[in-house]
Amino acid sequence: MLTNKENYTDINEVKKIIDSEKLSSYNLNNTSIKPNEVGILLEGSKWKVYTSDARANPISEK
């Protein structure tokens, strides 16, 4: 499992996973999300992952 001392995944580990899975259409910095993009945001020690619709509106969050 990829975790750091605070028991949550580090941004560099997230980037490694994205690269190894050859994922595209993602946004790690939560600025100007594009249509049909996956947003990945670290808030405190929790990750929020959401998708956007064709109008770039967030439509789901976990």
**What are the angstrom distances between the C-alpha of 18 and each of 46, 55, 62?**
18, 24, 18
What pLDDT digit, counting tens, does each position of 39-50 carry?
A: 888 888 788 888
Cα distance between residue 28 and residue 43, in whole Å: 12
pLDDT value of position 56: 76
Cα distance between residue 16 and residue 61, in whole Å: 22
Task: Find tokens 């020690």 and name the residue.
Answer: 45
pTM exceeds cut of 0.85 = no
pLDDT value of position 62: 57
Q: Residue 10 gets which letter from DSSP?
A: -
Q: What would the two tokens of residue 32 be?
A: 């100007």
Domain ranges of the chain: 11-61
How many C-beta atoms lie closer than 10 Å to residue 57's C-beta?
10
